[in-house]
Structure 1
């Protein structure tokens, strides 16, 4: 039979109310008492009912994730990181997909809040910078943590990496290999991360005394197909680039495929670098030089901030790392 909170109470020798306080991570519970309750929970393999916990207080023990990203690897890592943190507190994650091109984002967020009684929301780009959504959630008193926001840092707690610095390091790496015609494939226009990575690319060129060539800058959509199209356009130039930095690994993989189709040797004739360090970066040939963006850790920390007993506006910056592989020689 499934263990109940009463069973935990009896085994630990404390009241049901005390067990509830420990499960809800409330303060003012002594360390020794908390340990007795946690030992009883483990021994009985107790799993509290979300419905019962919701009825006992004002929380639903559910948080929502609003995520729309062209990279399946990003979405998976984001969901996994949040789920891992939620399991610690016995909280359920609800993932809400949406179509950014539908024009109904605000309506969908309003409907989600109205029907699910969530304890809070995690917003990923580009929703993390959607002013109407942010204003609505503030008005309704919904706790929010944003991943990689581009503006309004005072609006909520947030987790992020320094995208500008990471892109600067990748571009500087290419320049250190002797490349002077370095192309860049931009990420989606409505993502703040796209602009931040572009700024890092420009900063590295400027430091090296190189004026950016508009012909070597192509718009992408953070996906494989747009990376391939952008690389095709650059490689068709009379003076093509000797290196390409794409703002995502998916676009870098597309650029690599375009080079292979044209018989351009990588890295002998063209160096290619990406951003993210998705599993794809190690699967393609040659493996991609890239920046490791710890998406799973970003997700875990976003959930951790959201599950704190009291709302916080903490800004957590996580480290990135340059991963040098064969695609840049």
Structure 2
């Protein structure tokens, strides 16, 4: 039987680099007072020997865990995974967060939490006790959940809130949802549309109302009415069907609809086909999300592309930086990474 390879320790690194154990520890903890030449020497030894810091040892010593934890909505995530609908929110979070963490020697894990559960505090406290993360990334609707924010403040854990502008501390990051909705509306107005419906997301997502405001502002600026042109869903397909039927049942039905998720946009296409409407001849459609499924819809959907990977990467970067500079939380608030509009074949001038 082959002998198990002896693990490389900090002592091996110190001997190879001809420095003290304390110097190796300071390099591993990104101590700014280490001379560049000394830092390079230690890092060269780490690379040569293949040394990997022990998370367990770091925790026992009371130092950082080099682990970030991202929280995502349990019910919605499990539903998306189970139904295999092509949504890629978690994929994009992993893409941005894990790559940024890797740059700094960190790891990122995702935990699913039910924001509506009476036991959310207990669930979160248990996750924190088990994983001891250096920081936590919150996604909607967790970003504005007072119970979750209270737990994190009591635990004194730095946190970042994607899609939030609310009080309660933490780094706030967003994609300017008003601007994204206004840009989508402006694209349709520029194509000649005057009656533009909007299918919003649920009330417990703050960004749902931001998008409504962007649509309403763009319509008002162009001198067009929005009365009777708003419907709500829950981001899911079935709710999109109900909302689209509500809007398209109007005698003066809209010539275009903006829907706040890809699933609700696909539902709008389905309802339009049931009514014999051509896309985009009789109805133009714009979606939010830009997940892979909209590229293969018939026709491919014009969509607001949410910069989820970029937002998560920036959130991770801020949480890692705050470990070295605790005052950063007060000086770097309200990060905006704007969304973009990807134009495809589902939008055109009315009747074309």
Question: Normalising to structure 1: TM-score of the pair?
Answer: 0.92
The aligned counterpart of 2:336 is 317
In structure 2, how many angstroms separate the alpha carbons of the residues matched to 1:10 and 1:279? 51
Return the offset for 1:256: 1.8
The aligned counterpart of 1:25 is 30
Q: Which runs of structure 2 are paired with 1:224-303 in the superposition (5 Å)?
A: 224-303=237-316
Contact 1:293–1:321 (8 Å) recurs in 2: yes
The aligned counterpart of 1:185 is 199
Unaligned stretches of 5+ residues in structure 2: 81-86
The aligned counterpart of 2:84 is none
The aligned counterpart of 2:54 is 49
Return the offset for 1:187: 0.9
Which of 150, 159, 162 does residue 147 from structure 1 map onto?
Answer: 162
Contact 1:273–1:290 (8 Å) recurs in 2: yes
Secondary structure of 1:227's partner? helix
Contact 1:48–1:90 (8 Å) recurs in 2: no
Return the offset for 1:300: 0.8
Q: Deviations over 1:269-316 (max 9, x none)?
A: 110001122222312221111222110111111111111123322232
In structure 1, how many angstroms separate the alpha carbons of the residues matched to 2:320 and 2:24? 19
In structure 2, how many angstroms separate the alpha carbons of the residues matched to 1:39 and 1:262? 67
Q: Which runs of structure 2 are paired with 1:81-120 in the superposition (5 Å)?
A: 81-120=96-135
Return the offset for 1:251: 1.7
In structure 1, how many angstroms separate the alpha carbons of the residues matched to 2:190 and 2:253? 19
In structure 2, how many angstroms separate the alpha carbons of the residues matched to 1:100 and 1:54? 28
The aligned counterpart of 2:172 is 158
In structure 1, how many angstroms separate the alpha carbons of the residues matched to 2:91 and 2:119? 24
In structure 2, how many angstroms separate the alpha carbons of the residues matched to 1:150 and 1:249? 24
Determine whether 1:203 maps to 2:222.
Answer: no
In structure 2, how many angstroms separate the alpha carbons of the residues matched to 1:190 and 1:109? 20
Return the offset for 1:93: 2.6
Cα RMSD, aligned residues only? 2.0
Return the offset for 1:22: 1.4
Q: Deviations over 1:62-94 (max 9, x none)?
A: 222111155641122113322222223333333
Q: Deviations over 1:204-246 (max 9, x none)?
A: 11001112122x2111111223222211222222222110001
What is the count of residue pairs matched by the alignment?
327
Secondary structure of 2:173's partner? strand
Which of 123, 144, 161 does residue 138 from structure 2 map onto?
Answer: 123
Contact 1:54–1:61 (8 Å) recurs in 2: no
Return the offset for 1:195: 0.7
Return the offset for 1:36: 1.8
